[in-house]
Structure 1
Amino acid sequence: MLVKTYHYYLLLALVKSSQVYADSLYDIPAASGQSQSNNQLFLMTSINQGGLNDLVACRLNAAGDIEVKNKDLKKLRIILPNYQDEQWVDLRGVKNLTYRYDAPNQNLFINTASGNLSSYNLSSYNLSANSQGVDTAGELSPAINAMVINYTAFNSTTNTNGMVSGGLNLLYTTGLGSLYSNSLYNFSYKGSNDNKPIVRLDSGWQYIDNEKVRSYLFGDYVSNTTEWSNSLRLTGIQISSAYSKRPDVITAALPQFSGSAALPSSLDLYVDQQKVYSTNVPSGPFDIKSLPYVNGSDVSLVTTDTNGRQVRTEAKYYFSPNILQRGLSEYSLDIGIPRYDFGRASNHYDNDVVFSAGSLRYGLTDRLTASTHIENSSDGLNNAGLGIAKSFWGMGVINADIAGSQYKNSMGGLTLVGIESRLSPKLTANASYQRTYQDYYDLARVSQKRYQASTTMESNINTVSPYASTIARGGLNYRLFSQLNISTNYNSIVYRNDTYRTVSLNLSGNITSTNSFYLTLNKNLRDSHDVSAFLTYQYQPRNDINLTSNYSNNAGTSSLRQQFDKLSTSSQNSLNYGGYYQTAKQEDSFGGYASVNTRYNSLTLDFARAAQNYQANGSATGSVVLAENSLFFAQRIDNAFTIIKNAGPGSHIINGGVDLGATNSQGALLVSGITPYVKNNFYIDPTHLPLDWQPVSTSKSVTTSYNQGTLVDFKVRKVMSALVKIVDGQHQPIAPGYQVQLNQESPTVVGYDSEVYLTGIQSHNKVSIDLLDKGHCEFTFDYSDNTSPTHPLGPYLCH
């Protein structure tokens, strides 16, 4: 009986320590009355000389051959389509498969052809939208309720004017979304001020469904667009995909490789002869999907098997956000009324018209993406368009779009073609041409026309982008040497009453590791006298010091500027400062600045003087957060934040190897600058934790959603400890080694000299000692914070 029990626990240990296909455990036969045939076995299995990693339920048939259920073979990547999942498969009868049964060691070694194996799939960059969006969302930490106030205060003083201005960003976050409202304010205390003292910017509510990667917004927003349409400000409802809020998700199609390895192999990925990724693959076919970001380069995949044989696969790949992953869609539905004079008026809406727009981009394949866009207005606009984007030969992307419109009695069309390519490892090019036909209208032009009709302000309605009839752009970039680049760009915009054409030439590079330069030449092709040149030389003797010289010549007017910058390399309590002196034909000028980043805000002072005129500015930027019944001051919060709670007073919190600062007297700390949807690991530095405080854990991990806050509770508690002297009923010392229990918690033992060190002492305590054959004894004692921990307590009589 003892032997059977031993074997039972040995088998149980194997099951716990190995990967076992639990569905087959129900087929374990009874211990008694078992026939010689169909003996149940649990064998460590290897495929094609791979490692012994899997514990598989098998059986011996009457002929002494190994049989395995088909569903378990599938888990080993062996595919036999003619068998049912629950059917036992005699391995001896499988074509192109041999095996060896090592009975003494209970191992099974299988060798089979690659055609019998399913592809081994792996992703080196596991943040693609099709693979990780839902999984990451499932790991999100619960959101907390919090009121966030981001503020910017700015003071400016000149010879004749003085003004205080700034902005407020109010954000109330909950698990049901975020309420937001932004505003500007300004007050003049010297000179005249024609601006309104307070202007509301945008307000609304937004909720992001993290599992569906979808955003619901009600309030003020900017409409989403395609390549050929224009955005505008609306107030209403917007339902859209939320990939732009997910830095953890890559929507663009990433390169993929497929191959086959006869033996277990190592896999190395090279981009331009530089190794960027390594992994191991088992024998058989494999699919490598979602490789890391590479752009227009030669990509090589090298597999090396256990015998040292190498196979190299080469391909070209061009990364472009215009090409979506196959089956992925980005969309937006916008319905609302247009808003005018943003930043100048709080509530200038056009209540007499309703705009609606819908956009959809869909990845038909990993090389072809289709898009469509429609626009309507209640005053008669109908606009629809289609577009495609196609990658070619791994060298670039070409796109073509067409749209048509009807607005009241006007009809028109639009075409757009573009190309971007990396022609060689050193040469990249891009070009696009957009043209409108007849009287083309979209929502941006309708909005501009309605605004122009409702206001008396003078503006040139024909020189804004919705009214441009032709837009042509092109550019080339060539890397002359490893440290030298030259590029040229051409821009042409033709309006109804004007034409704007420019060409520019740029040259930049590093002379040495500490010296660099940048040269720009601009020419207005419509005006022979309109030529400008800018030359910048920078010397960096240390990582935190920059010396810069700038020369500029604009239409014959030249200036020379010398500048010094001292930049801190730390993120908190860092002081940056600098100054400049500029000489020009008209007058010389000089100035300086200083800025400091603290844990609570960013402060900046700057001063400039030219002849008899001067300007002095000061600004402060930060945030105030009310959450968890506490008030926090921190740097500006843009996307997400985390509140550290119960970490002990004065504890230092570490994230990514950076000391974020010390907690307050309540053991709390607010951490701003958190990247949403990325796991953040926080640690307590034990060297700063007071001796009488103990954490349940010194590390915690959280993942925060967009515009949300999360809570990290370290549950550190103050633990009172003391050395206690105990005597028995006869006032004699108690021998060491007996078990002691304080307040029925974790036990300890009596030490030498009848003393015991007790932790977790409370105000009122009960101690019991197990004296074995002598029975047990108990005593009680009281303890307070004023009790000196440097001297033993007692002696206490245990009876």
Structure 2
Amino acid sequence: MRSWPHITAVAIALCLVTWTSVMDLGAQTRDDEGQSATGPVPGDVGAQYDPNADEALYLLVSINGRDTGLVAEFALPLQSRRMMAQREELQGIGIAAPRDLGQTVFLDQIPGLSFVYDVPSQTLSITARDAALVPVEISAVPQRDLPQAQAGFGVVLNYRVTANLGDDIFDDGFRAETAFASLDLRAFTPLGVFTTTGTVSSRIDDPGDAAFQRHDTSFTIFSPGRMVTVTAGDFTTAGPTWARPVRLGGIQIRRDFSLRDDVVTSPMLSYSGSPAVPSSIDVYVDNVRAYSGAVASGPFNLSNVPMITSAGEAVFVLRDAAGNEQTTVVPFFATQNLLARGMLDFSFEAGRMRLPYGDGRSAYGDGNAVALSLRYGVSNRLTVETRAEALGALRMVGVGFHAVLFNQAEVSLAGGQSVNGQDSGSFGFGALRTEVGGVGVRLSTRRTFGTFQDLASVTWEERAAASDPATVVPSFGAITALDAVTLSIPVFGAGSSLGLSLINSERSDLTNTIVSASYSRQLPWRAASFRINAFHDIAGDGGFGASMGLSMALGGSAHASAGLQRDRYGRVDTVAGLSRSADRRAGSYGYRVNLSGQNTSLGATYQTGFGRADLALRNGDAGGSASATFDGALVLAGGGLFASNRIQDGFAVVDLGIAGVPVSLNNRAVARTGASGRALVPDLRSYRLNRVSIDPLALPLDASLGATAIDVVPARWSGVALDFGGQSEAGALVVLRDASGVFLAPGAEVRLAGSSTAFTLGYDGEVWITGLGAHNHITAQTAGRTCTAAFAYAQVADEQVYIDGVECR
């Protein structure tokens, strides 16, 4: 064992070394003025860490007096004794080093930064200006992990069946004549979804004459993590606003932003600040609070603040604990066609042109078509885009951009060229959207020059060539010019608006220039509104039309309206209506009555738990007619066959094992378990968190559950089976007494023979025991003794069994 003098000498030596280290590093610390005036030391830029000559340090870092809670790796060269670190390490703790300092940075070279290294506590205290700090990024849109989607196997058939009950019911009575069904069949798997749509028509008296017309068939794979959808089969092309969509049969790979609701795809409000002390920040958009949060001292960037209105001013208020406020007013203009900076949108399609199926065929054109669209957000103020199409000898390329000007207007410009053999042409597109003095202005024009062609025009030509000339709608030629001007003017205060528009359409042999005006006003009683509309075709056939009307709410979902109208051919008619809409709740009903001088129609709707029924009666010049419609779905999933309302997106099959129990979706009752103890819950949002739950108070007294709520994330157009582990429980409340009739003491441990579960005795000798049979043996372990008892049990439906007088010996 070393002597105390030796230990004291070593301690003194360590103290001297520590003091020397602090003094040496403190000597490196310079005030802000000296640092900003002194540049990097020549020859030190890009210095590399040498593990043989440099001392590695792992230090707890504080910045401007705030403990970061982070440990970073630094290096202390033995010769220069100058603290250094890797650029990525500094970035991780919030220090921004100039790029010209290389990857390995000496801390004393960073302008606006000083530090103190405390050897005993192994801490590094940094003082830095805002320029030397990495701004804290704050998003007004909550960031969350992408939930894992669930998908099983199953089949869904959405259907809408309409029966014609007679074309002249007043003379011939009700008589079912024809039936028409619209079908949407999908089979879902964990890999993807197969879908096919079509229609069936048939005469009621001759069902063998039924004809099926297929519409679209495809297999679709969704990738929410990549925000990509892949479709093999029939689809509609996607692209810029100035590109005309067409239908193809082939393959499509496209960006699908709808798969994610946590990704901001459009430019939104942002703000940068640097409070000296921790503060709160509130954002008001047109006097409505859009965001509220807290920020630490130092620079920060707040992004993705939603714009509640299309244009206006946003007010950012920073407030510290002492109540001091800093207010900044920022004008904004909400865009509609721009992508956020760095966002990429794309679509690639290849396949054969799908010809219209209105003539009863499912034909495809000749040749393979290819289309590619790209859109990229260069900044929050500029988005560029391009579109290319090819089919046979046809080649078409277009480019365009969308931009925001001075936070006051959104401008779109595009142009392109096409070549098809000896034919060539071009197009130009421009649009402007702005607001001037509260007046909304929209301008757009699209014009073609020469013989411009794209996939849409080729589709029309192939359709005309493949169709029966007697069935082809007469063509007035391709549109060579389409211009639109729209003004939206607030008048007479809030709740009133005046709309003016001019639409000019030019074809090779026809020109229409339609001027229209509309006025609407909200009235102060019964949520009523008044409207008036008029139009005039000044360059076409000279047609003129006008209408005026009054509508009001009658309470609940009832609504009434009345009006006067004149069509373009000069016919004047009065109209009146009374309606009530049905919602998705079982038992909901609706009706509609529409009266006019030309015809009368009546209708009634009733919502059931497995579909919606509708009856319609019409009376006109041709006589009275009637039809009946039922809209619903059949679902084969989760081990059962269910009749349901139409399935739009995701759904869940709940297996509760107990009949007659209400099931809720996001705290709203939507279904009830049937005789099998199962229920189908529609209207789940795909790739979103949905909570399916049941109310324990609605369960029978003898029921037990493994869970009362389950969070589920279904895939697009898919279903999920949920097992709540429900069953009738063989349990009873047993009262235990000793041989003298006194209740056993509370806290005793009771075990049922054949079961590993321990039950705890409560007051008055009561213990709840599950897993009982017809004859049962139990053991009770008290503080001073062990006793046994036997008793019989008989389950009673929907009742809690109470067994008294069990003697434990």
Q: TM-score, normalised by structure 2?
A: 0.81
Q: Identify the match of residue 696 of structure 2 among 686, 690, 703.
A: 686
Aligned counterpart, 2:381: 367
Task: In structure 2, give the amino acid aligned to 1:443.
Answer: L
Any conservation in 2 of the 1:462–1:497 contact (CA below 8 Å)?
A: no
Could you say what secondary structure the match of 1:284 adopts?
coil
* 2:460 alignment counterpart: 448
Structure 2 residue identity aligned to 1:442 = D
The range that moved more, 710-719 or 782-791, is 782-791
Paired residue for 1:311?
Answer: 326
Shift of 1:189: 4.5
In the alignment, does 2:130 pair up with 1:121? no
Per-residue deviation, residues 60-118 of structure 1 (Å, max 9, x unmatched): xxxxxxx999999977646688999999999xx99567999xx9xxx999986544543
Find the residue that maps to 1:508 and give its secondary structure.
strand
**Partner AA of 1:155 in structure 2:** A
The aligned residue for residue 613 of structure 2 is 603
Query: In the superposition, relative to structure 1, how do residues 468 and 108 fare at CA in structure 2: closer, same or farther (>3 Å)?
Result: same
Which of 149, 152, 157 does residue 141 from structure 1 map onto?
149
For 1:778 and 1:73, how far apart are their aligned partners in 2? 70
Q: Counterparts of 1:605-620 in structure 2 under 5 Å?
A: 605-610=615-620, 613-620=623-630
The 3 A distance-change label for structure 1 pair 441 and 89 is: closer
Contact 1:49 1:264 in 2 (8 A): no
Contact 1:56-1:72 within 8 A present in 2 as well: no
Give 1:367 shift. Answer: 1.2
SS of the aligned residue for 1:445 comes to helix
What are the equivalent positions in structure 2 for 1:756-795 lying under 5 Å apart? 756-761=767-772, 767-772=778-783, 774=785, 776-778=786-788, 783-785=793-795, 789-792=800-803, 795=806
* Contact 1:246/1:676 (8 A) holds in 2: no
C-alpha contact (below 8 Å) 1:47/1:283 kept by paired residues: no
- The whole-number CA distance in structure 1 between the counterparts of 2:704 and 2:229 is 42
1:462-611 matches, cutoff 5 A:
462-463=475-476, 467-480=478-491, 481-514=493-526, 515-527=528-540, 529-554=542-567, 555-567=569-581, 571-583=585-597, 587=598, 589-610=599-620
Tell me, in whole angstroms, the C-alpha distance in 1 between the residues paired with 2:697 and 2:739: 43
2:159 is the alignment partner of 1:151: yes
- Contact 1:49–1:263 (Cα < 8 Å) also in 2: no
| Cross-structure match for 2:300 | 286
Counterpart in the other structure of 1:414: 427
User: Shift in Å at residue 287 of structure 1?
Assistant: 0.8
- Computing the radius of gyration over CA atoms, which structure comes out larger, 1 or 2? 2
- Alignment-derived partner of residue 438 in structure 1: 450
1:298 correspondence with 2:310: no
Structure 1 residues 377, 738: closer, same or farther in 2, change over 3 A? same
Contact kept, 8 Å, 2:585 with 2:670, in 1: the verdict is no
3-state SS, counterpart of residue 274 of structure 2? strand
Q: Is the 8 A contact 1:97 1:113 kept in 2?
A: no
Q: How has the CA–CA distance of structure 1 residues 768 and 171 changed in structure 2, closer, same or farther, with 3 Å as cutoff?
A: same
CA deviation map 1:652-678 (0-9, x unaligned): 222344211322233322121222222
What SS does structure 1 have at the residue aligned with 2:346? strand
User: What is the percent sequence identity of the aligned residues?
Assistant: 23
Distance apart, 1:518 and its partner CA = 1.6
Amino acid at match of 1:159: D
Cα deviation, residue 317, structure 1: 2.3
CA distance in 1, matches of 2:639, 2:728: 21
Rounded to whole Å, the distance in 2 between the matches of 1:279 and 1:474 is 42
| Distance of aligned partners of 1:671 and 1:410 in 2 relative to their CA distance in 1, 3 Å threshold | same
CA contact (8 A) 2:512 2:540 kept: no
The residue number in structure 1 matching 2:345 is 330
Residue 371 (structure 1) shift: 0.9
Q: Alignment partner of 2:539: what SS?
A: coil
Change (3 A) 1:44 1:718: farther
Q: CA deviation at 1:188?
A: 3.2
Match for residue 241 of structure 1 among 255, 261, 268: 255
Which amino acid is 1:150 matched to?
N
What is the CA-CA distance between 1:151 and the residue it aligns to?
0.6
SS in structure 2 of the partner of residue 446 of structure 1: helix
Pair 116,247 (structure 1): closer, same or farther in 2 beyond 3 Å: closer
Relative to structure 1, the CA distance from residue 732 to residue 460 in structure 2 (aligned partners, 3 Å threshold; closer, same or farther) is closer
Partner of 2:750: 740
Distance in structure 2 (CA, Å) of the matches to 1:242 and 1:766: 63
Task: Summarize the Cα distance change of 1:578–1:262 in structure 2 as closer, same or farther, 3 Å threshold.
Answer: same
More displaced 10-residue stretch of structure 1: 513-522 or 608-617:
608-617
Give 1:483 deviation, angstroms: 0.6
Q: Given the superposition, is the C-alpha separation of residues 679 and 53 from structure 1 closer, same or farther in structure 2, using an over 3 Å criterion?
A: farther
Whole-Å Cα distance in 2 between the matches of residues 647 and 75 of structure 1? 53
Q: Deviations over 1:119-165 (max 9, x none)?
A: 22111124xxxx76xx32xx133211110010101122312994211
The unaligned stretches of length 5 or more in structure 1 are 1-34, 59-66
Aligned positions of 1:588-667 closer than 5 A: 589-610=599-620, 613-646=623-656, 648-667=658-677
The letter of the residue matching 2:239 is T
CA contact (8 A) 2:158 2:647 kept: yes
Deviates more, 1:783-792 or 1:470-479: 783-792
Check conservation: 1:216, 1:240, Cα contact below 8 A.
yes
| Contact 1:299–1:315 (8 Å) recurs in 2 | yes
Q: Which of these residues, 400, 404, 408, is aligned with residue 387 of structure 1?
A: 400
Rounded to whole Å, the distance in 2 between the matches of 1:780 and 1:99 is 75
Select the residue among 387, 395, 409 that pairs with 1:396. 409
Kindly state the Cα deviation for residue 167 of structure 1 after the two structures are TM-superposed.
Answer: 0.8
Contact 2:795–2:801 (CA<8 Å) still a contact in 1?
no
Superposed displacement of residue 445, structure 1: 1.2
Q: Report the Cα distance in structure 2 between the residues aligned to 1:688 and 1:732, rounded to whole angstroms.
A: 36
Q: Tell me which residue corresponds to 2:221.
A: 207
One-letter identity of the residue aligned with 1:327? G
What amino acid is aligned across from residue 758 of structure 1 in structure 2?
A: I
**Alpha-carbon distance in structure 1 between the residues aligned to 2:651 and 2:538:** 50
Classify the secondary structure of the residue corresponding to 2:459.
helix
1:669 partnered with 2:669: no
Give the count of matched residue pairs. Answer: 730
One-letter amino acid of the structure 2 residue matched with residue 340 of structure 1: L
Report the 3-state secondary structure (helix = DSSP H, G, I; strand = E; otherwise coil) of the residue aligned with 1:141.
coil
The CA deviation at 1:709 is 1.6
User: Within 1, Cα distance between the matches of 2:103 and 2:692?
Assistant: 46
Query: Within 5 A, what are the aligned runs for 1:42-191?
Result: 77=94, 95=113, 113-115=129-131, 117-126=133-142, 135-136=145-146, 139-156=147-164, 157-159=166-168, 162-189=177-204
Provide the rounded CA distance (Å) in 2 between the counterparts of 1:344 and 1:124. Answer: 52
Amino acid at match of 1:501: T
What are the Cα deviations for residues 522-577 of structure 1, in whole angstroms up to 9, with x where unaligned?
Answer: 11012575110011201224242212012101232111112112345774421111
Distance across 2 between alignment mates of 1:740 and 1:765: 12
1:224 counterpart (211, 221, 238): 238
Once the two structures are TM-superposed, the CA of residue 778 in structure 1 deviates from its matched residue by 4.9
1:197 maps to 2:205: no
Separation in 2 of the partners of 1:125 and 1:595? 41
Distance of aligned partners of 1:84 and 1:719 in 2 relative to their CA distance in 1, 3 Å threshold: farther
- How far apart, in 2, do the equivalents of 1:433 and 1:49 lie? 59
**Pairwise CA distance, 1:791:** 4.0
Deviation of 1:751 (Å) = 4.6
CA distance in 1, matches of 2:561, 2:768: 65
The 8 Å contact of residues 462 and 496 in structure 1, kept in 2 or not, is answered as no
CA contact (8 A) 1:405 1:440 kept: yes
Structure 2 unmatched runs, 5+ = 1-13, 19-58, 74-82, 170-175
Letter in 2 for 1:181: T
